[in-house]
Structure 1
Amino acid sequence: MLFKPHFVLNLAVTILTLMVCFWLSLLRIPGLELFGVTPNWVLIWLVTWSIRRTLLQAVIGGLTCGLILDGLTRTQPSHILPLIVVAVLTVIIYKRIIKKIQEDFISVALIVFGMAIIVEIIRSLQIQVFGYFNLEQLWLHQQQVGLSTAILSSLWAPVIYLPLSRWWALMEPSNQLKS
Structure 2
Amino acid sequence: MNKAVFLDRDGVINEVKTKRVKFVNRPEDLYILDGVPEAIKKLNKAGYEVFVVTNQGGVGLGYMTEEQLDEIHEHMAKELAKQGAHLTEIMACTHAPHENCYCRKPNPQMLLDLIEDYDIDIMKSYMIGDRDPDIEAGNAAGIKSLMVTDTTPEAYKSFENLSEATDWILEDEKA
TM-score by length of 2: 0.38
Structure showing greater Rg: 1
Higher helix share: 1
